[in-house]
Structure 1
Amino acid sequence: MNEYSPFFSDAYWWLSLIGGIHCVGVGIYIRYIYQSHNRSHKLLAAIFVLIGIYFFTGLITKETSPVPIHLVLTLFVPIYLLLMPLLYLYCKNSLTGQSKNNYWKHFAPALISAFTVSTAVLLRVGFDPHIHLEPINSLKQLSHINVLAIIFPLLLIAQALVYFSLLFSMFSQYRKRFSVLDQTTIKDIRFRWLVLLTVGILFNWITRLALVAIPFYVGDYFTTLNQAIARLSMLITVYVFAFYGLTQITRMAYLRGNLASDSNSPVKASAQLLNAEEMQYLQGVIKDDEKST
């Protein structure tokens, strides 16, 4: 396996670079080109930018980092705490059509964790910045160097469980409303996109948990191959998101065009509330009333 380690290291680096560039590119496209009436596109763009930041962390190595690598990765954890609130708010805004939310309630954990990390770095509490020459391959080694790197991933797991339960509860309520309609509508297309986005992020969250987090916490060694597989899964998922999103945008534009053409076309006699005989009888009643008055 040692002779393949340079290959996996290079593949991991390139996956991180390509994935980061593509995710940030998709985020910029959504933010400045694809617009929505309730401004939910800004939340979606922020989600893809955060995924891009996750990819770019793979470019940070012990040689390229100006500070100890375990400290740098800990500083990124408060940013990851923004992903699930953004996903929940985007889905909620897209389904309800509203744009006013209590953002402070959802983003408070990320702000508090950022303040905690900044304070710990300045006061050097909970970590030893000088012990970074030896590679860290297990939880036992990291516990003597960086306590925050152990606590924050557990907070990420707890936060993800809470928000995924809220999302699927919300989806179960709206699925009953959309299932009543026999034909495909714009709301139905948007609902399917939100479900795909949530399931894709959940799948990659479980994949990273199984390949990276759980082996690390049980004291096993994690390898570059496991991290490369997790990033490759996320990159493929982003491509699926982009392809599916573009197809659904095309379908929504087609449906909007049909709705506009139907609203401009004259109403046929067969589509009226009253047929010809009923209209004639109603006109006769009106004339009789006029004569009697």
Structure 2
Amino acid sequence: MTTDPATAAQALTGLARIRPAGWLATPMPHDPAALLVRARQALAADHPGVNGRISLISARYTAAVFAVHRPESSLALKLHADPAAYAGETLAYALLAGTAPVAHLHAEGDSSLSLLLEYLPEPADWAGHGMPTVLAEHVAAVHTASLRMPAAATKAMAGFTLAALQGARAPDWIADPGAYGEVLAAHLDAYSPDLVPLGHLDLKPQHLRRRPDGEVVLLDVESVRPDVTGLIDLVTLPAVLRQAGCELSPDQVLGLYLDASAARGARWTAGSLKAALRAYAAATGLESLHGLDR
């Protein structure tokens, strides 16, 4: 059995592309005081009436997240420095709201590139034996979300269905268009032509959070996009589970995903899913499938 990488990022060696330093013209500031000023400006500009003490949760080059502490219910405020990332996350929430177990989006602010989200400070309890199954089910729910979208969203995403992608030019990031065609053909066998192949969750153990009622949901759908397919998430699952302290074999991980996706309408078999993974690796330059295809 191949040893899983230490992190989910390492699981995608060969596929991941590192952006050059300075690629973003106006990154988030480093100074916490400046970040708090920007958060207050965003609330005033795009979310009038939302008041409370603001605390910084996390900050990176492209985005910052804050808690807005209010007596009635606290909220999370996410500010983007990259307009494309903001647009992508806004679209992802529009597609996933009501169709997958993700944090609730309360409001968006175009002028400040901000999102007001459900505040979920409690991490998921990875000591529970059922968490690997929960994670696989949540990932499969995102991958099949387009099968449960309302009519308006279905119409808006018509250009990204499997039927539309099958006849379109392969994305620029694809290394082997022929192999990419095999990936799409495998998805057509597993799903209906109307599926939008959503994928590319930023999977980390800390991105599974618990609501007060105990329900576990996914945080951060910024990177979800409609042409990468969910296979990218399947490749990272073993590494994410290992990070969380759950030692599962590749066959066990594959089995969890097969069961979870079948419950949501997929017609994968172990053989067809492994063949799709091999084609995906060839299409993208991914160096290893970490035993999932054996």
Q: TM-score, normalised by structure 2?
A: 0.27
Task: Point out the structure with the larger helix share.
Answer: 1
Q: Which has the larger radius of gyration?
A: 1
Higher relative contact order (Cα pairs below 8 Å, separated by 6+ residues): 2
Task: Point out the structure with the larger strand share.
Answer: 2
Q: TM-score, normalised by structure 1?
A: 0.27
